[in-house]
Amino acid sequence: SQQGEEDPQALSIQEGENATMNCSYKTSINNLQWYRQNSGRGLVHLILIRSNEREKHSGRLRVTLDTSKKSSSLLITASRAADTASYFCATFNSGTYKYIFGTGTRLKVLA
């Protein structure tokens, strides 16, 4: 399969809680991006992390990258109902020069 794996596939939490999503991939990468997609809408870019970076922050978002384990995680702190969306990781395959998307995590934040 060309896709990376994300887990969990679905996550339901209460407002104010933290949400953690994980992404695993198979090949060497140059960078990895996280995107949000609201139902029926386009992609919203969240964070890009390069292969020589281990952690990156943007507001309530924290992304980590472990190239030795070929995995990344996205942490959303103090979640809000507006964070309800699907979240995808996309890895840049340095062998094929293509971005491959993960299967996605559907996050639901309950008010």
25 makes contact with other proteins (CB under 8 A): no
For the four alpha carbons of 65, 66, 67 and 70, in that order, the dihedral sign comes to negative
61 makes contact with other proteins (CB under 8 A): no
| Of 8, 18, 50, 82, the one binding other proteins by CB under 8 A | 50
Q: Which residues contact 97 (CB under 8 A, 6 or more apart)?
A: none
> Residues in contact with other proteins, total (CB under 8 A)?
25
d(CA 60, CA 8): 20
35 makes contact with other proteins (CB under 8 A): yes
Place of tokens 């384990």: 69
Site residues (CB under 8 A) for other proteins?
A: 2-3, 30-31, 33, 35, 40-43, 45, 48, 50-51, 88, 90, 92, 97-104
